[in-house]
Structure 1
């Protein structure tokens, strides 16, 4: 199996300049490829392969106008051309939408590194072509410091290294191949009910709270709202006619807002990873979840923000790939399965159950928390689904 590792980079000023230069060159090569493909299509030509376009791009670099392309590693532009060709081909196959040109202002700066030439030490990564000189003091420019020590192994084959800028920091993402797990979990299966009051309620009586209700996140959200209003007032104050004048103070405030958004996102992502890892570490024989209609749930204007912050789709994605690493089958119940309305004792379905009814009361005398009951029903659904698959 292939696992992806993402580590933050800590470049100096010269390295930051080089990173942006590489990213801008990759964007230029991508846009140039799309332009050539579109021009060729309008003239009645067939699809141009990435090999032919790379040869054409090599001739382009020999001209005086585009001599600056020679300052960047050849592998960066090669992969950008290949990516554009794949995106163009996938559109005609019906897999994706039509590829768009990358904007200098709005697109994410990123580029590819050759998986053979890239090198890792415990604390640094070597990026190809930053310094051409072989002198030791010049070669130091190639080595960028990693924020985490010993996170990436140094003696293995690397897959698809990519370097990306998120608006604040540079990150490197790399795939590493590991041996498949042979351990088959034999513990009791788990049913998981996702909700807004609590993030996840498990059938084994484990409950994971909603991180967005914690005081830390509430304080950050309050700061975010105040900062957004402050920026909006400054824009109105510096309005000139029909356009807005962006001052240095506005730029500073927008950068602060970006950092705040990143911090909130990181807190939520870290909590999701922590929760899903704890569930997987209990080594259940199976995990059963419900196929939630998140798009339909988002139409409720009173709950849409809370649903969005819970990241149900990301939770399910993490459970699925982590379970696959550990040979745990994931069963997804149909979205019309009455997990909350079905009595876990007698099997009666209470059709008039409202969202405000947090305690389920059945005619048979069963009184239980509705979310915990949903988790029990999902566990039973998973057991029946496994029995059918075996039979």
Structure 2
């Protein structure tokens, strides 16, 4: 039976000494990532061309650190973690050159997305037990979810990250491929939107969770806590003039963690909702799943809709749906974004070019009268203007 690589992510409880090592490693990785960007910008201005990750890593180890004694702290951290940070930045540049993403941006300390990479160096590294895992350079670390990572699994590598004063580990595990589904049912097409998260061709609807009272209360609370944080920064400016700032700085750190936890809670609720929708779709064993190739970046340019679009997490939904469906042997069809699914009559095929966004009911000359989103879902299920999604 074929083997595949699967990722598991869970929370860990590191000791105080382990936290110090994690913070130092993440700090070095962030510095190296930003330094690589600044050196490439400098090279571009001097018309010397792009510096590859291999050349930059070689220059750092053989020239920059030996000739700058005050930068010796870079060598104190794992060399493979530093090299992985450089490779991540180089990958971001290559995606930018291909037009797949924006220009790489500097990582900020408070708004970072930097992870500490720990490869497997020895046989005993990354050993998994029911309640703990052995991380290279860190040692045994407690897991929050017991037996979530398969005990005795072959772990290839791991990354450790920090978010709102909590620590997470993501491991790559080699395991047997899942048995693919059989006896498929009728295919399902999904029309994503803002009024409702999804309307499916089988008539089922998934509500927009961002309109629920729970999310609205949390967003209201987040707004209040952000306002408190802003006022503390203003108070710090006044304190600086009087020479007493330490107490205010400590309060800012505490309040920042409060704001980060609220952001994390909102993100977790939305992600959990997406996971439930994906699982519900795949439980029906459809022969195919059709989704529209939405221009999310273009939708985000509308300042009236940008926040609502971002909160829906369309990209995360499509990524998870694609991966889980393909692993289960279900075909995923990505319908062309220019296909007029909303303006086409699902009964006769007539295209109503003057259909406006406020028109929630599609009324055709043939006498068909149907909900706009349901009509779009029917068209997505029938169209032949699609591409078959594949795992990268």
Same fold (TM over 0.5): yes
Task: Indicate the residue corresponding to 1:174 in structure 2.
Answer: 171
Corresponding residue for 2:321?
A: 319
- 1:355 maps to 2:360: no
- Give, in whole Å, the separation in 2 of the partners of 1:233 and 1:348: 57
Task: Give the match for residue 119 of structure 2.
Answer: 114
Gaps of 5+ in 2: 388-392
What does residue range 307-386 of structure 1 map to in structure 2 within 5 Å? 307-381=309-383
- TM-score, normalised by the number of residues in structure 2: 0.80
2:136 is matched with which residue?
Answer: 128
Q: 1:234 to 1:373 in 2, by over 3 A?
A: same
Unpaired stretches in structure 1, ≥5 consecutive residues: 131-141, 387-391
Where does residue 303 of structure 2 map in the other structure?
301
Partner deviation per Cα, 1:289-334 (whole Å, 9 max, x = no partner): 1122223323333332222211112211111111111111111222
Deviation (angstroms), 1:115: 2.5
Deviation at 1:163, TM superposition (A): 0.8
Q: Which residue does the alignment assign to 2:292?
A: 290
SS at match of 1:120: coil
Partner in structure 1 of residue 254 of structure 2: 252
SS at match of 1:175: strand
2:279 aligns to what? 277
Relative distance call for 1:101 and 1:231 in structure 2 (3 A) is closer
Higher Cα Rg, which structure: 1
Return closer, same or farther for 1:179/1:296 CA change in 2, 3 Å cut-off.
same
Report the secondary structure of 2:301's partner residue.
coil
TM-score by length of 1: 0.80
Residue-pair matches, total: 370
2:205 to 207, 225, 235: 207
CA separation in 2, counterparts of 1:86 and 1:381?
38
**Displacement after TM superposition at 1:225 (Å):** 1.5
Assess, with a 3 A threshold, how the Cα gap between structure 1 residues 161 and 53 changes in structure 2: closer, same or farther.
Answer: farther
User: Relative to structure 1, is the Cα distance of residues 159 and 376 closer, same or farther in structure 2, using a 3 angstrom cutoff?
Assistant: same
Give the deviation of 1:123 after TM superposition.
Answer: 0.6
Q: 1:75-154 residue pairs with structure 2 within 5 A?
A: 76-84=78-86, 87-88=89-90, 91=93, 94=97, 107-116=112-121, 117-130=125-138, 142-154=139-151
Contact in 2 for aligned 1:290/1:335 (Cα 8 Å):
yes
Q: Hey, what does 1:228 align to over in structure 2?
A: 226
Structure 1 residue 14: Cα displacement? 2.7
Q: 1:27, 1:80 within 8 Å by CA — same for their partners in 2?
A: no
Q: CA deviation at 1:166?
A: 1.8
Matched with 1:157 is: 154
Which deviates more, 100-109 or 171-180? 100-109
Change (3 A) 1:104 1:355: closer
Specify whether residues 9 and 209 from structure 1 end up closer, same or farther in structure 2 by C-alpha distance, changes over 3 A only. same
Deviations 1:67-88 (A, max 9, x none): 767765xxx2234225415744
d(CA) in 2 for partners of 1:34, 1:303? 32
Deviation at 1:49, TM superposition (A): 4.9
